[in-house]
Chains A and B, each alone.
Chain A
């Protein structure tokens, strides 16, 4: 009871102090960099739209985005792109346009394309492809505008005129550049062909009077194959000269188209293992192309042949054997090297290889009842080749053999000593040449071992007969020992119960004791202490305090009845006790 009271006090105190701590402050988080690529590409499109129309809002957006943190993997490129846009605004808003700055911007404009490509890759929205296409279209406009600006601001129209035939040049084609010097203090020194920052060719002019001519050659495809993709490529021509002792640079732009070769592979879409695959290769492009023919599948990529392709179709015969071809999907890959006119290119075509198994027939019985528990296995070969045979019982390798050409092989397998067993029999037949696919035969076989069965039956019967003689004494001994255990358990449980229930047996909640205590309280007599018996209490507290003999006697009789109610099996009647109780009260009132 005391513990219970303390617990209540504790709860109340904890509650009181918790009330004082209701107001607590939360810690703030750190800012998050933008990683939503769809959002970033949309903002980029808005900025590019503003930029192409030279809207002032574009400059503001670019400035803000330049300092906005984004996902670390894109941050560097992001900053590069918005720095470029800011530079563009600076360049075009300047009173004296810097050709070098314009050229830098022109060179770097492809980083925006690269940024959009990366943003599309990290965006989950398929509609971003359209946004990217729109941005690239706008960037082409921006590039043209830059070319115009560079051309415009790099020409001294009063002093020098430059003439170049405007067309889309072929790779390796020569470009004639004519410069007319309008001022006799002017001269031209060199002419260079540039791709971004790379100087591809530098040449000098041949002058005849005021007319100077230089010839440049568009780079062949095989010389710049690693830096270009197919399509229109913009080259810059830079002309250096001097007018009145002051150096000048004039820029012009050239377009050249690079293409991939047109390759054609003709081959059946399906082929059976071991067969011959006829592949016809040719090109519709001009020239001779050299390259390789490969096959790739889920396992590896293997070279099949070195090839030469021309306009004339040429047929190659490939044996579809292992390990080059796997069963199922295989991809033929034709790769050709770059030529003067065409870029390197690979073309793929898929073929399905259907399996071909050795011509063998595997047989066994579904139920095998033998004296030794053996399972017979019959393998009949109709092929002229020799095959390897591997046998597994319950996935455990147990036998290996060879089956000769057009022969019959009988293998006897042992299922073990178990009288009845169900085994999983698997037979794998392999072609040692590696041409044909593995033939797998798998079945469940019930095997009965008669010998073991008989031994168990005889042994069991004998044991039964021997034990029968001792049956009675065995059962008796079992019963005796079990009774002993049960009685001990019963005794222990009852002892345990007795100790647990002792307080209840000894009168917890005795109505007689309760009446006796009530009576004591009403008479103003102190209650017995924990260390006192009722009789000690009577001698100590009652006999000395109560003067009237009748009350003492009545109380003594109630005490005796209380003791009987608490400890004796002969419980008193409650009516008798109540009668005595009332007697004490009436005597007390008279006193």
Chain B
């Protein structure tokens, strides 16, 4: 007959293991937020990381970056606040290139921040100049002599430009595209059909802000078709940086960003996992023998 040896010690061990397990689970469980760099679904950015892109978790980091050697990708689902926009404009004016895309509220906040007066018209579908789905629309960027594949583009009616805006170029969808106003995935008589503006290239001093009215540009869904353009823009020795400051409020997502590095699992995670395994092995074997 055996009697329990020391209950308090077991409780301490179990508590430590459970805490470490909880941390481990937070790290391991997937975060499927749109534009998240560790999300491998259609709207994630995991494939962009495979293209040697890096990420920043705070927009303030932009001050420390050399703008002339950086290509910044800002893709968000929520509107941008004025302080973040100021930081981005300041970064651009120092010679940076910024590409923005995301949800309509975010793009609207960027366009308004740049001095555009806009009214949202709706999602664009193009059954002819598209790939795989009418929502993945091909747009010709004549200024770069390249075509882009936009995932779920949408359009705004621009009623007024600010005099301070230096709009270099606007790209349009094909004459076969239409605005799916009632979002029923079908064309209805009366829905506008024709060319619609979806990309605005704005110059600020020596930098560029490229505003793309689409849900995805370098997301996993369409990155393969747009990677040439990305490489072209980053061709002058620019590093591709993805803004992930939107995930500051999302604790598991933010924690994962700290634990993982751009080149895979960070040493911190390896250390944590090693501690867990060492503790468990110590408990199982060493303590058993001493008893």
Contacts and interface: CB of A to CB of B under 8 A. Distances in A.
Contact of A26 (B41, B178, B188): B41
Nearest to A130: B189
Contact of B1 (A6, A16, A566): A566
Interface stretch (A33-41, A88-96, A152-160, A280-288): A33-41
B67 interface: no
Contacts of A39: 127, 178, 186-187
Contact of A64 (B28, B40, B176): B176
Contacts of B277: 9, 12-13
A42 interface: yes
Nearest to A29: B132
Contacts of A57: 175
A65 B50 contact: no
Interface stretch (A17-25, A340-348, A357-365): A17-25
B25 A15 contact: yes
* Interface of chain B, main secondary structure: mixed
A46 B24 contact: no
Interface string A45-86: 010000000000100010011001000000000000000000
B46 A46 contact: no
Given A11-B21, A31-B131, A125-B188, A20 B276 contact: no
Contacts of A130: 189
A128 interface: yes
A9 B128 contact: no
A28 B21 CA distance: 36
Interface in B82-107: none
A25 B47 CA distance: 8
Nearest to A131: B189
A22 B38 contact: yes
A36 B187 contact: yes
Interface string B113-135: 00000000000000110111110
A38 B187 contact: yes
B27 interface: yes
Nearest to B128: A68
B189 A38 contact: yes
Interface string B259-291: 000001100010001001100110110000001
A32 B38 CA distance: 30
Nearest to B129: A64
Nearest to A507: B1
B175 A38 contact: no
A473 interface: no
B13 to A, nearest CB: 10
Given A28-B132, A566-B1, A43 B176 contact: yes
Interface in B26-83: 27-28, 30, 38, 40-42, 46-47, 49-50
Contacts of A127: 189-190
Contacts of B193: 42-43, 46
Contacts of A24: 40
Contacts of A128: 189
B175 A61 contact: yes
Contact of A42 (B128, B187, B269): B187
Contacts of A43: 176, 193
B17 interface: yes
Given A25-B220, A42-B193, A530-B2, A8 B17 contact: yes
Interface stretch (A199-207, A370-378, A509-517): A509-517
Contacts of A517: 3, 5
- Kindly list the 9 A-B residue pairs having the minimum CB-CB distance in the complex, ordered from nearest: A39-B187, A127-B189, A34-B127, A19-B28, A15-B28, A5-B284, A29-B132, A23-B46, A15-B24
Interface of A: 2, 5-6, 8-9, 11-13, 15-16, 18-20, 22-26, 28-32, 34, 36, 38-39, 42-43, 46, 57, 61, 64-65, 68, 125, 127-128, 130-131, 506-507, 510, 513-514, 517, 527, 530, 566
Given A43-B176, A527-B5, 4 more contacts: A2-B284, A12-B280, A22-B46, A127-B190
18 contacts: A8-B21, A12-B21, A12-B276, A12-B277, A12-B280, A13-B277, A18-B28, A22-B30, A22-B38, A25-B40, A26-B220, A32-B134, A39-B187, A43-B193, A64-B128, A68-B128, A517-B5, A530-B2
